[in-house]
C-alpha cells in the first residue's frame, strides 16, 4: 500500500530551488535512505515532508500525499496534526530536538495526550513504557530528568521514544547517529532496526554505510535532484551513476594494500548556481558535450533501478 | 629508527569540584621520523587533550615528552617557541580555525612573523606552499569565506607547514568535510608526508580512515592506551575487546564487508567516576570478577603489539582483511 507519494516536489528559498522537482514513493513499512552531501537538498526534502521548512521556503508539488492526505491542501492546523501521529521526526542533534526546559516525562505526556484522548495517569504509563522500549535504564528516574542531564546517546533514545510513542506510520530520521560516538551509533542503529519495524522510515544521511544497514532502497541526491535510486544491494554492488560510483570509491575501506583513494575532483556546485546541463558534469570523468547541454532525466534502466545520467554504467 | 618523539607515562589532570579528573593517564608511545601514528578513541577518551599536552598547550601533571632527545616538559619562553616551530597542529573545523577577517596571505604569514622569518621571503614561501596544497597563488589575496570546506582545510594545512615542522598533529582532519572531498585531503596529506618526511599524529574516530593513513594505531579508552600495534595487526588481530567492538561498529561500505556487530552495553563512563579494575569492564562482553578489581597493565602480546586486557585475543576480528 502506498504511504507516501510525491511528484515534482520542489522547495525554493529566495527563488533558489534547494529541492528541484523530485519524485518519491514509499510503501507502508518500507525503509528508504536519502543519501547526499551537504547542499544536496536531502534535509530540506525531509523538512518539506514533515512540514517544518523555514518560513522563507516555498513548497510546490504536482502531488504530495501522505497516508491518504493531500498535504498541500491542508490548513496549517491540520498539517500540524499529522506531525506526531501519522509521521514523526528524529533529528541529528537531540539537544536541539528536545525542549531544554521541559522534563523528559512532560515531553512524552504532552506528545501522547496531543494525539490520544487518555488521562494523565495512563499517559504516564505509556510514557514510561516508551522509555523502557528504547532501552533507557531506570525510566522512572529518567522521567523527571531534563535533556541536559542525559548523555547524547540517551537523548537520542528519548527522541526515538517520542517519535514512536503515537505509533506513526512514517518516521523521518535526519542523520540520527551522526553526532554520536561509534559504539553508541552501533547501539542506536540496532535500536532503530528493532523498534521501527512497524513504521515506514525515511532516513536522511551522508553515510551510505548507515543507509545500507537500515534501508531496503536508496535514493542518491545531488544538487537538489535524485540522480540514482535502487535497491540497496544493487546500488552498492553495481552503481550506475558516476557520482554514486565516486562516492563508493572515495571512502577508505580496510585494505592492507592501502590503495590510493580515488576522490571525486572539484566541489559540489552551490545551490544558487544552475547549469544548462547535468549539475555533476563539471566533476564527472565521463562528461561529454550532451552532459553540458542537457539535464538528464531520471529514467528506469532496469527493474526498480532509476538513474539520471546520459551515460550510466551498465547494471545488468 | 630512533624516535623523534618519545612520550613516557604522560598524565594530564583537570581540577573538578573537590577532586581531579584524569584526562590522560600514564600514556607512553614513540613516534619515528616520517611515521604516522593513529590515535583512536571516543569522546572523553582524552585524545584531543593528549594532542594539546604534546603541543605544551595544556599543563602536564607528570611524565616526560622528549622531542629529538630533548625533554620538552620543562621548556618555556624562546625554547618552547622553537619546539612549536617543529611541531604544528591542524584542527577539525576549517570554518572555525581560520580568522574570517584575515586574508589567506596574512593567515599564512602569521607563523612566519612569529618565528622571525624575513618579511621579503614571505611572498615566495606562501605562494609555493599554496601551490603545493593545490591552490593557486591568487588565493593569497582572498578571505576564508571565499573558499569551500575542503579548500579551507588545504589552507589550514598550508599554514601548519610553512615553518616546515617535523611533526604534524592532525585532530580529525577530514571529519568536517563531505565524503567526496575527504579523499582529496587524505591523498594530499599522504603526498606531503612523502615529500617533506613529516611525522603525523592523526586523531580520528573513523577506523577505516585511520587504517588507511597510519603505520601504527593506538586505541585510547578513558585516558589510557588499551592497545597499540601496526595498523594491519589492529585490524587483523585485535587483542582488546574494545578494539574489536570499534572495528565492528564502523558501518560496512559494501555488501561483501557485512559483519557481525558487537554491540557494547552502556556508554563510556565519565573519567570523574573511573570504574574499578579495568575501566572497560562495565561494558565488556567477556569481563569476569577479576576485571572488576585488577587493573590490566599494557603488556606486549606479540612483537610490537601491546594490549591492556586480562583476556587478550578472546574476541576475533570482525573484519576479513
- Average pLDDT of the residues in B68-76: 91
Of B208, B267, B283, the CB nearest to A253: B208
SS3 A31: strand
Chain B residues in contact with A208 (beta carbon < 8 A): 253
Q: How far apart are CA B198 and CA B206, in angstroms?
A: 22
Portion of chain B with pLDDT greater than 90, in percent? 76
Tens digit of each residue's pLDDT (9 = 90 or more) over B27-54? 999 999 999 999 999 888 999 999 999 9
Residue of B nearest to A262 (CA): B183
- pLDDT score recorded for residue B205: 87
CA distances from A199 to A84, A178, A202, A300 (A): 13, 22, 10, 27
- pLDDT score recorded for residue B223: 95
Of A54, A47, A70, nearest to A13 (Cα)? A54
- pLDDT score recorded for residue A93: 80
- pLDDT score recorded for residue A160: 93
Residue B319: inside a domain: yes
- Average pLDDT of the residues in A172-195: 89
Q: How far apart are CA A221 and CA A23, in angstroms?
A: 12
The verdict on A119 touching B (C-beta cutoff 8 Å) is no
Chain A residues in contact with B212 (beta carbon < 8 A): 252, 255, 258, 261
Give me the interface pTM, i.e. the ipTM: 0.87
Tens digit of each residue's pLDDT (9 = 90 or more) over B178-207? 988 999 999 999 999 999 999 999 999 889
Give how far A137 is from chain B: nearest CA, Å.
9
- pLDDT score recorded for residue A254: 87
Of A250, A256, A283, nearest to A269 (Cα)? A283
The verdict on A257 touching B (C-beta cutoff 8 Å) is no
**Domain carrying residue B265:** 238-321
> What's the distance, CA B33 to chain centroid?
16
Contacts of B166 (CB under 8 A, 6+ apart): B4, B33, B68, B86, B87, B198, B199
- Crossing angle for the helix pair B149-161 and B104-114, to the nearest 10 degrees: 20
- Crossing angle for the helix pair A104-115 and A120-133, to the nearest 10 degrees: 120
Q: Do A209 and B150 touch (CB under 8 A)?
A: no
Q: How far apart are CA B49 and CA B45, in angstroms?
A: 9
**B:171-210 residues touching chain A, CB 8 A cutoff:** 178-184, 186-187, 190, 205-209
* Mean predicted lDDT score pLDDT of chain A: 93
Q: For B38, which DSSP code?
A: E
**B:232-261 residues touching chain A, CB 8 A cutoff:** 232, 235, 245-246, 248-255, 257, 261
By mean pLDDT, which of A28-42, A186-200, A202-216, B137-151 is the weakest? Answer: A186-200
B263, exposed or middle or buried, with CB in 10 Å at 0-12, 13-18, 19+? middle
Contacts of A84 (CB under 8 A, 6+ apart): A111, A114, A115, A166, A168
Residue B7: inside a domain: no
Q: Do B182 and A250 touch (CB under 8 A)?
A: yes
Q: How far apart are CA B121 and CA B112, in angstroms?
A: 9
The verdict on A206 touching B (C-beta cutoff 8 Å) is yes
Residue A81 clears pLDDT 90, i.e. is over it: no
Work out how many CB contacts closer than 8 A connect A with B. 125
- pLDDT score recorded for residue A225: 98
Q: Do A37 and B180 touch (CB under 8 A)?
A: yes
Q: How far apart are CA B163 and CA B140, in angstroms?
A: 17
Q: What share of chain A is helix, strand, coil (3-state, %, to 5)?
A: 35, 25, 40
Strand B299-302 vs strand B305-307: parallel, antiparallel, or unpaired?
antiparallel
- pLDDT score recorded for residue B256: 57
Residue A43 clears pLDDT 70, i.e. is over it: yes
The verdict on A117 touching B (C-beta cutoff 8 Å) is no
Q: How far apart are CA A239 and CA B253, in angstroms?
A: 13
Chain B residues in contact with A189 (beta carbon < 8 A): 251
What DSSP assignment string belongs to A165-229?
Answer: TT--SEEEEESTTTTS-HHHHHHHHHHHHHH-SSSEEEEEES-HHHHHHH-SEEEEEETTEEEEE
Chain B residues in contact with A153 (beta carbon < 8 A): 267
Residue B67 clears pLDDT 90, i.e. is over it: yes
Portion of chain A with pLDDT greater than 70, in percent? 100
Give how far A48 is from chain B: nearest CA, Å.
23
Strand A225-231 vs strand A299-302: parallel, antiparallel, or unpaired?
unpaired
Q: How far apart are CA B85 and CA A276, in angstroms?
A: 49
- Average pLDDT of the residues in A16-44: 95
Q: Do B183 and A184 touch (CB under 8 A)?
A: no
* Mean predicted lDDT score pLDDT of chain B: 92
Tens digit of each residue's pLDDT (9 = 90 or more) over B251-292? 666 655 666 788 898 888 888 888 999 999 999 999 999 999
Residue A244 clears pLDDT 60, i.e. is over it: yes
Residue B204: inside a domain: no
Q: Do A212 and B255 touch (CB under 8 A)?
A: yes
Beta pairing partners, B36: B200
**A:84-113 residues touching chain B, CB 8 A cutoff:** none
Tens digit of each residue's pLDDT (9 = 90 or more) over A167-182? 999 999 999 998 888 8
Residue A276 clears pLDDT 80, i.e. is over it: yes
| C-beta separation of B37 from B202 below 8 A | yes
Residue B95: inside a domain: no
Chain B residues in contact with A181 (beta carbon < 8 A): 42-43, 205, 268
Residue B320: inside a domain: yes
Q: Do B255 and A258 touch (CB under 8 A)?
A: no
Q: Do A212 and B252 touch (CB under 8 A)?
A: yes
Give how far B75 is from chain A: nearest CA, Å.
36
Residue B288: inside a domain: yes
Of B186, B286, B202, nearest to B239 (Cα)? B286
Q: Count CB-CB contacts under 10 A for residue B310.
A: 19
**pLDDT band with cut points at 50, 70 and 90 for residue A96:** confident
- Number of structural domains in chain B: 1
Q: Do B187 and A264 touch (CB under 8 A)?
A: no
Q: Do A251 and B267 touch (CB under 8 A)?
A: no
A297, exposed or middle or buried, with CB in 10 Å at 0-12, 13-18, 19+? exposed
Amino acid at each position: 500500500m502506498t504511504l507516501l507519494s510525491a511528484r515534482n516536489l520542489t522547495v525554493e528559498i529566495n527563488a533558489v530551488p534547494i529541492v528541484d522537482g523530485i519524485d518519491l514513493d514509499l510503501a507502508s513499512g518500507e525503509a528508504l535512505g536519502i543519501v547526499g552531501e551537504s547542499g544536496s537538498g536531502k534535509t530540506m526534502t525531509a523538512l518539506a515532508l514533515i512540514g517544518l521548512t523555514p518560513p522563507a521556503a516555498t513548497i510546490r508539488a504536482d502531488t504530495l500525499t501522505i497516508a491518504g492526505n493531500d498535504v498541500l491542501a491542508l490548513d496549517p492546523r491540520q498539517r500540524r496534526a499529522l506531525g506526531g501521529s501519522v509521521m514523526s521526526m528524529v533529528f541529528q542533534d537531540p539537544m536541539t530536538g528536545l525542549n531544554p526546559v521541559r522534563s523528559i516525562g512532560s515531553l512524552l505526556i504532552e506528545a501522547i495526550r496531543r494525539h490520544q484522548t487518555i488521562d494523565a495517569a495512563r499517559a504516564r504509563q505509556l510514557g514510561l513504557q516508551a522509555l523502557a522500549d528504547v532501552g533507557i535504564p531506570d525510566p522512572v528516574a529518567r522521567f523527571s530528568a531534563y535533556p541536559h542531564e542525559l548523555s547524547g546517546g540517551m537523548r537520542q533514545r528519548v527522541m526515538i521514544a517520542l517519535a514512536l510513542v503515537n505509533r506513526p506510520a512514517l518516521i523521518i530520521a535526519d542523520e540520527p547517529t551522526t553526532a554520536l560516538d561509534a559504539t553508541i551509533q552501533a547501539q542506536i542503529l540496532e535500536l532503530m532496526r528493532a523498534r521501527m519495524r512497524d513504521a515506514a522510515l525515511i532516513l536522511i544521511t551522508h553515510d551510505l554505510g548507515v543507509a545500507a544497514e537500515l534501508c531496503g532502497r536508496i535514493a542518491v541526491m545531488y544538487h537538489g535532484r535524485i540522480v540514482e535510486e535502487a535497491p540497496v544491494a544493487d546500488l552498492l554492488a553495481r552503481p550506475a551513476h558516476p557520482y554514486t560510483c565516486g562516492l563508493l570509491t572515495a571512502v577508505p575501506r580496510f585494505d592492507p594494500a592501502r590503495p590510493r583513494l580515488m576522490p571525486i575532483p572539484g566541489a559540489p556546485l552551490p545551490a544558487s548556481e544552475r547549469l544548462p546541463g547535468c549539475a555533476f558534469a563539471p566533476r564527472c570523468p565521463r562528461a561529454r558535450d550532451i552532459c553540458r547541454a542537457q539535464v538528464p532525466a531520471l529514467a528506469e534502466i532496469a527493474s526498480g533501478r532509476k538513474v539520471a545520467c546520459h551515460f550510466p554504467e551498465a547494471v545488468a | 629508527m630512533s624516535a623523534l618523539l618519545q612520550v613516557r607515562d604522560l598524565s594530564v589532570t583537570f581540577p573538578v569540584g573537590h577532586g581531579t579528573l584524569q584526562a590522560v593517564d600514564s600514556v607512553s608511545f614513540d613516534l619515528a621520523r616520517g611515521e604516522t601514528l593513529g590515535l583512536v578513541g571516543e569522546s572523553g577518551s582524552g585524545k584531543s587533550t593528549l594532542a594539546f599536552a604534546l603541543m605544551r598547550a595544556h599543563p602536564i601533571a607528570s611524565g616526560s615528552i622528549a622531542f629529538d632527545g630533548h625533554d620538552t616538559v620543562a621548556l618555556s619562553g624562546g625554547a618552547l617557541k622553537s619546539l612549536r616551530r617543529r611541531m604544528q597542529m591542524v584542527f577539525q573545523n576549517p570554518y572555525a580555525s581560520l580568522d574570517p577577517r584575515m586574508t589567506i596571505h596574512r593567515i599564512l604569514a602569521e607563523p612566519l612573523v612569529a618565528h622571525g622569518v624575513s618579511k621579503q621571503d614571505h611572498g615566495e614561501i606562501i605562494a609555493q606552499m599554496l601551490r603545493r596544497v593545490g591552490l593557486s597563488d591568487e588565493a593569497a589575496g582572498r578571505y576564508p569565506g571565499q573558499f569551500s570546506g575542503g579548500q579551507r582545510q588545504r589552507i589550514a594545512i598550508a599554514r601548519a607547514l610553512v615553518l616546515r615542522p617535523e611533526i604534524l598533529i592532525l585532530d580529525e582532519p577530514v571529519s568536517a568535510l563531505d565524503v567526496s572531498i575527504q579523499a582529496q585531503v587524505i591523498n594530499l596529506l599522504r603526498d606531503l608526508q612523502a615529500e617533506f618526511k613529516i611525522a603525523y599524529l592523526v586523531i580520528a574516530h573513523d577506523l577505516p580512515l585511520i587504517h588507511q593513513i597510519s603505520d601504527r594505531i593506538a586505541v585510547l579508552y578513558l585516558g589510557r592506551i588499551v592497545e597499540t600495534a601496526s595498523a594491519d595487526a589492529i585490524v587483523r588481530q585485535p587483542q582488546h575487546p574494545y578494539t574489536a567492538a570499534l572495528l565492528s561498529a564502523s558501518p560496512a561500505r559494501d555488501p561483501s564487508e557485512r559483519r557481525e556487530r558487537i554491540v557494547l552495553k552502556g556508554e563510556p563512563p565519565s573519567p570523574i567516576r573511573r570504574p574499578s579494575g579495568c575501566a572497560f569492564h562495565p561494558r565488556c562482553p567477556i569481563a569476569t570478577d577479576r576485571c572488576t578489581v585488577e587493573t590490566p597493565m599494557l603488556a606486549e602480546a606479540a612483537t610490537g603489539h601491546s594490549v591492556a586486557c586480562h583476556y587478550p585475543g578472546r574476541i576475533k576480528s570482525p573484519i576479513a582483511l
